[in-house]
Amino acid sequence: MIAGVVLAGGVGERMNSSIPKLFHNLLGKPIIRYVLENLSGLALNKIIIVVKSDLKEKFQYTCGDDFVYVVQDKPLGSGDALKRAIPELENFSTVLVVNGDAPLITTEILESLISSHNADNVSATVLSTVIDDPMHYGRVVKDELGNVIRIVEAKDATEREKNIKEVNTGAYCFSVDDLRLVIDRMTNNNAQGEYYITQLIEILSSMGKRVNSYITDLGSLALGINSRFDLSLAIEKLLTEKMEELMHGGVTIVSPENTYIEPDVRVGRDTVIEPFSVLKGNTVIGENCTIGPSSYLLNDDIGDRCEVFYSVVKNSKIESDVRVGPFAHIRDGAIIKSNAAIGDFVEVKKSIIGSHTKAMHHSYLGDADIGERVNIGAGVITCNYDGKNKHKTIIEDGAFIGSNTNLIAPITVGRGAVTGAGAVVTKDVEPDTIVVGVPARILRKKEEGGKGE
Ligand code: UD1
Ligand code: CA
């Protein structure tokens, strides 16, 4: 049985931030969530996260109940963090250990690390990578046969060791039995006065146990996020991958370098993403849509053949064949049904807009339930808020709401009713009735089956 351990007890000083490092936002999700998703793709029987005691609740809240949380009271080093997890490794033969700050080490890479570890039947395997400028990373020191004999941190390395270009990514496989033999033998007499996980490699090797390295070609991106600059490189890498995936799936992205798409967004074939568009969260877009230029979509569900032009849509559903924009704002659980049109400077909040209904210019539609084939004139406002509570507006099928009508909610405008331009409607309007004025009064009933005017 294989367990996973995520070392997440460090301080992350180099971010220069009041936010703990692993909670920094990477394309809409905290860094730690990527690491956990990558581990969750493996067949692990248990995943343990070692956290600082004061952040345990925050981790639990962010990462959920699928994991075992172990507290490291003091940040005594990565080796000490692993030691805290040992009691959780009862009945496990192998443990995969990863740094919590390395979101780009994918499930596939970790899978290969485990396979290599198992195939070679070694005591430990280090995931390493080769880079031109090994900077502050741990150097992987090998003997003539290619066995790893130690990993030396840059601050503790000799001049010769500093020239080694194979560096430790901070992911390892260990035999749990061997780990138990050496876990209490770490010392902290090194440049940083910490218990290094990497010292375990040296101790194992000195006992005659075999340690291998498995080299990934990911390069510096495998080395985790230590600074805001590293964060920007991770963002760039994940964005590029996402765009490639979408383009491969038949999506046109007119200007990838001017487009932002988060990893969980899905887009259908032959949809075109115009420049300066931002697609976030769990947004799902159907086929043959045009999104942008300059649209912002967050957690939306959009059907086929829609156009979202210079607009903002958040947490809302848009069915098929809908036109939105320019400069519309649709939000908070709004539902726009098929063939509707939401035009410029129209805000739709928590409202249902029926099929073939049009609201083309300068409106606020909040807490409204609007039927099919309704015409919302320019400047129509649902006055949904009385200073204390929000109230509902219901507009039934086929109604015609004249320009600059104010609808004082709660209110219902009946099927086929008409409000005159500038009306302030304070009372429910019967079906097929024309109201005008301030406050609006009945002008007349529409003729039987007639459209009124
Ligand atoms: C570590 C490795 C280094 C490697 C580099 C790759 C050590 C000693 N060195 O260096 O060889 O090249 O990663 O990125 O591990 N942590 C705890 N508790 C602590 C201290 C750290 O849980 O008390 C965790 C951190 O949250 C982090 C991991 O251990 O996820 C590594 O610690 P960090 O301080 O980031 O080590 P690096 O200097 O990056
Ligand atoms: Ca690190």
* pLDDT tens digits, 320-374: 999 999 999 999 999 999 999 999 999 999 999 999 999 999 999 999 999 999 9
Query: Which has the closest alpha carbon to 29: 312, 275, 235, 266?
Result: 235
Q: What is the average per-residue pLDDT within 34-55?
A: 97
Q: Is the CB of 420 under 6 A from ligand 1?
A: no
**Tens digit of each residue's pLDDT (9 = 90 or more) over 288-312:** 999 999 999 999 999 999 999 999 9
Confidence of residue 447 (pLDDT cuts 50, 70, 90): confident
Q: Is 254 strand, coil or helix?
A: coil
pLDDT at 142: 97
Burial label for 166, CB within 10 Å (0-12, 13-18, 19+), is: buried
pLDDT at 281: 98
Distance, CA of 252 to CA of 247 (rounded, Å): 6
Give percent of the chain with pLDDT exceeding 90: 97
pLDDT at 13: 86
Distance 91 CA to ligand 2 centre (A): 29
Show Cβ contacts of residue 209 under 8 Å, excluding neighbours closer than 6 positions. 122, 123, 124, 178
Query: Which has the closest alpha carbon to 124: 91, 154, 98, 148?
Result: 148
Residue with tokens 């969750």: 40
pLDDT at 12: 82
Note the pTM of the prediction, 2 decimals.
0.93
Query: Which has the closest alpha carbon to 170: 78, 61, 46, 308?
Result: 78
pLDDT at 215: 98
Q: Which two tokens stand for residue 413?
A: 């405008």
Q: Is the CB of 80 under 6 A from ligand 1?
A: yes
Show Cβ contacts of residue 87 under 8 Å, excluding neighbours closer than 6 positions. none
Distance, CA of 277 to CA of 311 (rounded, Å): 9
Mutate to test the pocket of ligand 1, among 99, 109, 140, 227 (most ligand atoms within 8 A of CB): 99
Q: Is 218 strand, coil or helix?
A: coil
DSSP H helical segments within 8-77, as ranges?
31-40, 56-63
Distance 426 CA to ligand 2 centre (A): 63
**Tens digit of each residue's pLDDT (9 = 90 or more) over 191-239:** 999 999 999 999 999 999 999 999 999 999 999 999 999 999 999 999 9
Active site residues: 361
Look at the alpha carbons of 100, 24, 64, 195 in this order and tell me if their dihedral is positive or negative.
positive
**Tens digit of each residue's pLDDT (9 = 90 or more) over 91-130:** 999 999 999 999 999 999 999 999 999 999 999 999 999 9
Distance, CA of 177 to CA of 226 (rounded, Å): 32
Average pLDDT value for the chain: 97
Q: Whose Cα sits closest to atom 9 in ligand 1?
A: 138
**Tens digit of each residue's pLDDT (9 = 90 or more) over 162-183:** 999 999 999 999 999 999 999 9
Which is the closest atom of ligand 1 to the Cα of 168? 12
Confidence of residue 47 (pLDDT cuts 50, 70, 90): very high
CB 259 within 8 A of CB 243: yes
**Tens digit of each residue's pLDDT (9 = 90 or more) over 49-72:** 999 999 999 999 999 999 999 999
Burial label for 383, CB within 10 Å (0-12, 13-18, 19+), is: middle
pLDDT for 452 beyond 70: no
Strands 260-261 and 211-216: unpaired
Which is the closest atom of ligand 1 to the Cα of 77? 23
Strands 312-314 and 296-298: parallel
